[in-house]
Amino acid sequence: MIISMKKGATPQEISHVRKLIEELGYKVHESQGSERMVFGAIGDERSKHRLTSLEAQPGVEKVIPILAPYKLASRETKQESTVIDLGHGVKVGNRKLLVIAGPCAVESQDQIMEVAAAMKECGAHMLRGGAFKPRTSPYAFQGLMNDGLYLLAKAREAYSLPVITEVMDTASLEIISEHADCLQVGARNIQNFQLLKEVGKTRKPVLLKRGMSTTIEEFLMSAEYVLSNGNHQVILCERGIRTFETATRNTLDLSAVPVLKEKTHLPVIVDPSHGTGHARYVMPMAYAAVAAGADGLMIEVHPRPEEALSDGPQSLRPNEFKHLMEGLRRIASAVDRDI
């Protein structure tokens, strides 16, 4: 249920109502809007009639049910868009677009440093690179693991860039949290509820990638696992879903962007690299994503895609990425965003 306070409610009235909600056994989620305080009462729906009676309390404007099953992620609970601080002065969810770039996997010190230098020069904001890689084949390159984390952390220091890397299981969560500024939960783990609970207990921003057969509602319920465990810093990433179409690696569902922006206050970014699987389609879909209202992009960049140990065909060369960034400035200004 949502308990919306009146515009002129006094601090005493606000704290009294908060106390009453807690006494009824609900968790309180506070959201201070520009005009009024709004409480989300999260808990057992069976005693919700007792919350309805709060409408009689001084300072309370109205008590309304949260219809969505994802209570904390819903825009009903929090109308203002969430802005997440990723460190090194980088944020996502405001007017400024977030551009994350880097290789699919960290492969060597030279490789990650070369990409970091190039993307920093082009104006990208955050460096990506997988150290623990989820691969379809057990015989394929699995990532440099801890060594990959150290190399990523080195690049972060050298270029003052926040870094993001994937966490595949709870066992590696602690070491990854020590080195990364943002935890990526990949498409294959979107319904690994135990992992979602554990990342929800950390205080690191989390990037959740949509699963290949995840509906929007399931996607938001996965976000809810992280939020309900106390971590409110969740970024959603559309990366394509599996359909009958085989011309592209996945079908990039750009309609997910306006749908998600309507249903949730969380930032939404798009990954056109995994979404298309082909470097030549990355630029047009990146532009379309921003035009559709995405808060940012995640792009795979490799100094020599033909030598990449994973996802070479969809990786841009640094000069192609530079070209993408130049065009992105024009698209961003056309839709009233900064970059």
Footprint on this chain of ligand PEP (rule: CB under 6 A): 104, 130, 134, 186-188, 209, 239, 274
d(CA 221, CA 70): 5
Q: How far is the CB of 275 from Mn ion (least distance, A)?
A: 11
End-to-end Cα separation, the chain, in angstroms: 37
Question: Nearest distance from residue 189's CB to ligand PEP, in Å?
Answer: 8
| 186 interface partner picked from ligand PEP, Mn ion, none, CB below 5 to 8 A per type | ligand PEP
Provide, rounded to whole angstroms, the least separation between the CB of residue 332 and ligand PEP.
Answer: 23
- Residue 31 vs 273, nearer CB to ligand PEP: 273
* 103 contact, one of ligand PEP, Mn ion, none, CB 5-8 Å limit per kind: none
CA-nearest of 124, 94, 180, 97 to 301 is 124
CB of 109 to Mn ion, least distance (A): 20
Query: Distance between CA 103 and CA 127 in Å, rounded?
Result: 9
In the complex with ligand PEP, the residue whose CB is nearer, 5 or 237, is 237
Task: With contacts defined by CB under 5 A, name the span among 2-10, 62-70, 104-112, 194-202 that binds Mn ion.
Answer: 104-112
Measured from the CB atom, is 31 or 184 closer to ligand PEP?
A: 184
- The listed partner (ligand PEP, Mn ion, none) that binds 239, CB under 5 to 8 Å by sort, is ligand PEP
Residues 254, 288 contacting (CB under 8 angstroms): yes
104 sits near Mn ion (criterion: CB under 5 A):
yes
DSSP-assigned letters across all residues of 234-299: EEEEE--B--S--SSSSB--TTHHHHHHHHBSS-EEE-HHHHHSSHHHHHHHHHHHHHTT-SEEEE
Nearest residue by C-beta to ligand PEP? 186
Asked if 65 contacts 41 with a C-beta cutoff of 8 angstroms, the reply is no
Residue 160, by phi and psi: left (phi above 0), alpha (psi -120 to 50) or beta?
left
Bridge partners (DSSP) listed for residue 4: 38, 62
CB closer to ligand PEP out of 125 and 209: 209
CB of 31 or CB of 189, closer to ligand PEP: 189
- Give the binding-site size for Mn ion (rule: CB under 5 A): 2
Minimum separation from the CB atom of position 274 to Mn ion (A): 6
Provide, rounded to whole angstroms, the least separation between the CB of residue 322 and ligand PEP.
Answer: 21
State how far the Cα of 324 lies from the Cα of 331, in Å rounded to an integer: 10
How far apart are the C-alpha atoms of 7 and 4, rounded to whole Å?
9
The pair of structure tokens assigned to 287 is 């532009």
Distance of closest approach, residue 188 Cβ to ligand PEP, in angstroms: 6
CB 112 within 8 A of CB 103: yes
Interface stretch with Mn ion, choices 92-100, 195-203, 277-285, 311-319 (CB under 5 A): 311-319
Interface residues with Mn ion (CB under 5 A) are: 104, 311
